[in-house]
Structure 1
Amino acid sequence: MGGLSIWHWLIVLVIVVLVFGTKRLGSVGKDLGEAVKGFKKGMQDDDDDKKPSPQLRDGSRDESSTTSQRDDERTPR
């Protein structure tokens, strides 16, 4: 008896349709669909931005490795 049966959900659905109307519910559904679509597109664009950068081939070091070596070379005070 703790759960809601299908009849409870149908009654709630009928009340919501009567209160808000089908036109407003349709526009809410459309807005929600567009929001989900935009979110998915944003997530896909974010994944494209995280592509690895090409590695240096000429033997030169990037700044992050140079910085970490400088930190190691410091003498404690």
Structure 2
Amino acid sequence: MKKGVVVGICLFALMALVACSTPYRMMFKDGTVVEMADEPEFDKDTGFYEYQTLDGKNVRVNKDQVVEIKEM
């Protein structure tokens, strides 16, 4: 009984997290546009944006190459 309740709570929490993610679109100076599931993080120390692509790849890109970041 307790195991079922715990599993139910975990599934609910997971669904809530997925529903909270907001997709973003990043446009580069060369015109390339990349979509991502969440807002990219900016590392002030390195000057790079870090994000995860829709297919799960982790990417770092120099802020000087980015023209625009928009919430979709």
TM-score class, shorter: 0.3 to 0.5
TM-score, length basis structure 2? 0.33
**Bigger Rg over Cα:** 1
TM-score, length basis structure 1? 0.31
Structure holding more helix per residue: 1
RCO higher in structure (CA 8 A, sep ≥6): 2
